[in-house]
Amino acid sequence: MRKMRTIRTRLTNGASQVRRAALMVVAGIAWAVMTTACGSSGSSAPPAARDGAAAPATASSGAPGGSATGGSIKIAFLGDSVTSGLGLLDDQAYPAVIGNQFAADGYSEVEIVNAGVSGDTTAGGLRRLGDALEPGVRILVVALGGNDALRGLSAAQTKDNLAAIIHGAQAESVQVVLVGMLAPPNLGPDYRDAFAHVFSDLARDNAKTVAFVPFLLEGVAGNPLLNQPDGIHPTAEGAKIVAGHLYPTLRNLVDAMQ
């Protein structure tokens, strides 16, 4: 069995003010997920199938993210504190877990770049896109949006930022995986619906080139056994579930690139 060469992470732990802010948003999201699971008739969940998305055709067979060397396939994760692994060891964050799964399955050419930053919004992610698309990145996982409502971004702004991230990555011939989020219920049903449709609409509009996973925290949000004491960030076991939810889509994309 082959071993993966490198798993690299970039972790930025947020200050206490950011942690309190994030708590308000994700706690609301967890409530929304629990309500939906209990049979709510609302339409806050994205109107797409929740069993993961089949990988679309890769955006390009060129040299993504600059020039890949040595046949490596770098997967960059552009996200917030859930992606950075706040409260976890570096190798317990879900991107690292995904990297370990690739290694266990014999994908020695796969490298993981954790570009998660605590408290980040889609606007922040757009500003950091150039740094995330370092040489050799061929797949970009976009897992942002949970902090947008708290920071005063409208659903339209979130959509514009995510669209710009998608188009910016595609301009560099990088395959995009868009991962959805849910909005807190305290912002009202109109915002919840608009926010949910941001992700499903972008997935529909880019269906031929963008892979879509409807909800990052599927099976984890709202479950106290899978979240840290703050009720927000997944435990190591929760991160494994998140990783397992994303891994099949990423593995299909990697297979298509070989």
What residues act catalytically?
A: 81, 230, 233
Instruction: Quote the tokens at residue 255.
Output: 């297979």
In angstroms, the Cα distances linking 216 to 65, 106, 133, 181 are 24, 25, 21, 6
Contact 88, 227 (CB under 8 A): no
Contact 48, 200 (CB under 8 A): yes
Burial class from Cβ neighbours inside 10 Å (0-12, 13-18, 19+) for residue 98 reads buried
Per-position b or e across 209-238, b if 16+ CB within 10 A of its CB: ebbbbbbbbbbbbbbeebbeeeebbbbbeb
d(CA 23, CA 119): 10
Contact 137, 65 (CB under 8 A): yes
Burial class from Cβ neighbours inside 10 Å (0-12, 13-18, 19+) for residue 248 reads middle
Instruction: Quote the tokens at residue 53.
Output: 């998305």
Contact 84, 147 (CB under 8 A): no
d(CA 212, CA 176): 9
Contact 161, 126 (CB under 8 A): yes
